[in-house]
A and B are shown apart, each in its own frame.
Chain A
Amino acid sequence: MSELEYWTQQIVKGRISRREFMGRAAALGVTTALASTMLSEAGVAATPKQGGSARFGLAHGATTDTLDPAGYPDTGTQVPFWGAMSNSLTEVDAKGNITADVVESMEPADGAKSWVFKIRKGVTFHNGKSLTPADIIASYRHHMGADSKSAAKSLLTAVTDIKADGPDTVVFTLSGGNADFPYICSDYHIPIMPAKDDGTADWQSGVRTGAYVFGHWEPGVKAELKRNPNYHKPGMPHFDEVTFLTLGDVTARTNALITGQVDWIGRCDLKTLNLLKKNPKIAIAEYTGYGHYVFPMMVDQAPFDNVDVRLALKYAINREEIAKKVFLGHAVPGNDNPIAKSVKFAVDPKPDFTYNPDKAKFHLKKAGLSSLKVDLSVADAAFNGAVDAAVLYQQHAKKAGIDINVVREPNDGYWNNVWLKKAWCGGYWSGRPTCDWLMTTVYAKGAAWNETHYANPHFNELLVAARSETDDNKRAGMYAELQQLLHDDGGVIVIVFNNYVEANSKKMAHNTIAPNWEADGLKIAERWWFA
């Protein structure tokens, strides 16, 4: 790689600024004009241009979709109705940091047991009404309470009270300290909606605070939104109107992009990606997010109750080969730490669980076994390629004297009948933006989705302590230890972190892509523009 290419890569990844890049380029004898062209080719444009009508091809969308944020199941609702039309209290930026969105400031008090949010001045709903504490309270109450059917209900169980304090302040009281609470507020299930007179949130009208105003929607077909001229972020958004089409068939999606009927598509076909790359009008964006594919073992069930059996199984899988053959290289091999590298406080625990049949045999022997026969239940409903990955794993493990019996389960009802029921199965996590959030959801004792039945007392104590610790140095140490515990002792085999692979017409431009969710953190409509 030439030095210039290196710096181009750095700016694409957001490690250096545009100004810095120009300086480096000049030092290498490149004219400013040429450097600008290079940047726009790399997808980094100078100043966003306004205008145009953008069309996005989403991989998901169903006739059962609803405007109610209690049930935004996939990108078909998340990208238009949260990312484009709504705001949460906070948002995650391209570097994974939490920033204020419709609030100006967020301050912890009482050991992070209460959080004080100050509403940003001038934030209005699409109908002209100003944002008040009552709206925020209604929006949160919408997900809380005994009869709530919201997917965000479990996120907010720790919230004991929400109160207005004056005309522009909202105070959240939590049952225990949580230094990461602002991250939870950035969740796509919790957009801010206007309060009705009876104090409930009005989700039906589609009136929100976001960059685009609700226009026309056919569930499972398309959504059309128009630019919000009074948006609170200066200069944003850039498009005049945006259309989101549900294109479930991957070939239809690809053809729509090639023929110019849409400007961007999500979830590209990996098998034909190299052909798509050759198209001079199309750019591919590939980035690793928090999402990962797992084989969780229940640590309270034989034979997985023996840590050496777990270690043997962790050494008996060749993740590199699975990443290469099943995911065609569009995935990063895991190391049994479910926290993605881009998350704050993430570490890479040692030793690396690379494929090593001898070590697997050693641990098997230590567990008092000469051979091992286990069932692994999988279906492609767990994640695309789960069956292939399991069959490859079967072959890898054979060399270590482990006989994995791959049980192919039906896709239908997989999450009800197999996941959380069978001692060892395949699974998928879209990941969470903080260590605490993911660990509390999946690995804490008693969590509803504790798929490994992990209940290490030290892990749980440390998890609670780290949650309310506000000193970043101390927290970093605590989270490193927690990750090490999951890596050494936990029951989860993290096969790979999956990459998001998306494609767009080169007419579009953008800054560094946020990896927290697909489609630029779901906010592609707000953040991108036509070059």
Chain B
Amino acid sequence: MLQRLGLGVLTLFVVSIIIFTAIAMLPGDFAKAILGQAATPETVAAFQHEVGLDRPPVLRYFIWIAGVLHGDFGNSFASAGSLGGGHARTVMSLIAPRLANTLFLAGFAAVIAVPLSLGLGMLAALYRGSVFDRLVNIFTLASISVPEFFVAYILMLFLAVRFHIFDSLADVSPDTPFFDRVFACVLPAMTLVLVIVAHMMRMTRAAIINLLASPYIEMARLKGIAPRRVIVHHALPNAWAPIATVIALNLAYLIVGVVIVEVVFVYPGIGQLMVDSVSARDVPVVQACALIFAATYILLNLLADIVAIVTNPRLLHRR
């Protein structure tokens, strides 16, 4: 367990180096991106000095990583000099509300998608080969096979433009009441659900079907236990490991990969913030976002492993 955590931290460290070098290699810089045509050499130099871009990259990396280890992600370049004056705009103050929005949307989608896909997967396994199984498969595979912006536009066309049931903009602020927020997020959440359900549902179905052939299931059947009970009480507990891995992957996707859905519905999430910051070359924000994304992946994978071990203690003892 401790070893796993240590490995996770090491991975994060390696990721931080990759992030830093990748961003350092991007052409253009913040001053030029902000000033555009108006960038004269003197103004650019003044900017670079102010945000410390004139220092060597190795030094900048250590200053940054030392700050991060102290929990300080630094200030956004946007608050440098005349662009920020006395108001330092910290990276955390930019990221926190956006991250909260993203987590809300991810949570909303997950609360629907996870039980739905588990349920559908179990039912599909139970009625394997039936019309129901086929229909569920066709529908979920179709929804995962088209790009997510297409799903989003189709939902928007029918549920917002043709029949104005929901809003096409997911317009939320920090002070939006909870139920208004849920209502505003219905369309993006539905899109995400459609995109991730197939993967989890297919894995649940496959894992359970895989087990249905094993001798102990046959024994349970021969005892005369109802098929439903066989699946929920006998097959499912042993199928948790692969299912948990897939759920973790999809939850991570919900947090780090939803930028397209955010753009389509104009949802102020962290993905849009990162894209914005990349195009403005706001390096501290990009670095912090990337690090948060990496940590999300590592943590969720760790969690999946723990779930796998808890449900199947045999995994602790290698043969």
Chain A residues engaging chain B, CB cutoff 8 angstroms? 62-66, 68, 70-71, 73, 147-151, 153-154, 203-204, 216, 218-222, 245-249, 251-252, 255-256, 258-262, 410, 412-413, 415-417, 419, 448-449
Q: A259-B167, A417-B27, A419-B37 are in contact. Are A204 and B282 (CB under 8 A)?
A: no
Q: Quick one: which of B86-129 are within 8 Å of A by CB? A: 86-87, 94, 97
On whether the beta carbons of A252 and B36 are closer than 8 Å, the reply is no
On whether the beta carbons of A66 and B37 are closer than 8 Å, the reply is no
Query: Residues of B contacting A147 with CB < 8 Å?
Result: 46
Compute how far the CA of A416 lies from the CA of B160 in the bound complex, rounded to whole angstroms: 42
Q: Quick one: which of B31-59 are within 8 Å of A by CB? A: 32, 34-40, 43, 46-47
On whether the beta carbons of B265 and A252 are closer than 8 Å, the reply is yes
Smallest CB-CB separation from A256: which chain B residue? B169
Q: A261-B167, A261-B168 are in contact. Are A204 and B27 (CB under 8 A)?
A: no
Query: Residues of A contacting B282 with CB < 8 Å?
Result: 63-64
Listed stretches B14-22, B198-206, B221-229, B272-280; interface member: B272-280
Please list 26 pairs of residues, one from A and one from B, whose beta carbons are closer than 8 Å in the complex, sorted by A's number.
Answer: A62-B276, A64-B34, A64-B76, A65-B78, A66-B83, A66-B84, A68-B82, A68-B83, A68-B84, A71-B34, A71-B83, A147-B46, A149-B35, A154-B40, A220-B273, A221-B173, A246-B266, A252-B264, A252-B266, A255-B168, A412-B27, A413-B28, A416-B27, A417-B28, A419-B37, A448-B40
Query: Residues of B contacting A63 with CB < 8 Å?
Result: 76, 78, 94, 273, 276-277, 280, 282, 285
On whether the beta carbons of B277 and A64 are closer than 8 Å, the reply is yes
Query: Residues of B contacting A65 with CB < 8 Å?
Result: 78
The A-B contact count (CB < 8 A) is 129
Asked if B307 is at the interface (CB within 8 A of a chain A CB), the reply is no
Compute how far the CA of A492 lies from the CA of B280 in the bound complex, rounded to whole angstroms: 29
Asked if B161 is at the interface (CB within 8 A of a chain A CB), the reply is yes
B285 → chain A closest CB, angstroms:
8
Compute how far the CA of A249 lies from the CA of B271 in the bound complex, rounded to whole angstroms: 14
A228 → chain B closest CB, angstroms:
23
Asked if B60 is at the interface (CB within 8 A of a chain A CB), the reply is no
Query: Residues of A contacting B72 with CB < 8 Å?
Result: none
Compute how far the CA of A42 lies from the CA of B305 in the bound complex, rounded to whole angstroms: 66
Asked if B171 is at the interface (CB within 8 A of a chain A CB), the reply is yes
On whether the beta carbons of A249 and B263 are closer than 8 Å, the reply is yes
Q: From the candidates A222, A261, A416, name the one contacting B39 in the complex (CB within 8 A).
A: A416
B: contact size bracket: 35 or more
On whether the beta carbons of B27 and A149 are closer than 8 Å, the reply is no
On whether the beta carbons of B160 and A259 are closer than 8 Å, the reply is yes
Complex A-B, nearest 7 residue pairs according to Cβ-Cβ distance, in ascending order = A413-B28, A64-B78, A413-B27, A255-B168, A151-B38, A64-B280, A221-B268
On whether the beta carbons of A255 and B280 are closer than 8 Å, the reply is no
The residue in A66, A149, A410, A449 that gathers the most chain B C-beta atoms within 10 A of its C-beta is: A149
Compute how far the CA of A66 lies from the CA of B79 in the bound complex, rounded to whole angstroms: 8
The residue in B81, B276, B285 that gathers the most chain A C-beta atoms within 10 A of its C-beta is: B276
Asked if B153 is at the interface (CB within 8 A of a chain A CB), the reply is yes
On whether the beta carbons of A251 and B277 are closer than 8 Å, the reply is no
Query: Residues of A contacting B97 with CB < 8 Å?
Result: 218
Query: Residues of B contacting A148 with CB < 8 Å?
Result: 82
Smallest CB-CB separation from B27: which chain A residue? A413
The residue in B26, B34, B82, B171 that gathers the most chain A C-beta atoms within 10 A of its C-beta is: B82
Query: Residues of B contacting A204 with CB < 8 Å?
Result: 85-87
Asked if B164 is at the interface (CB within 8 A of a chain A CB), the reply is yes
Compute how far the CA of A216 lies from the CA of B175 in the bound complex, rounded to whole angstroms: 11
Given contacts A71-B82, A148-B82, A249-B263, 10 further A-B contacts (CB under 8 A): A63-B282, A68-B83, A204-B86, A218-B268, A220-B276, A247-B266, A255-B168, A258-B168, A261-B167, A448-B40
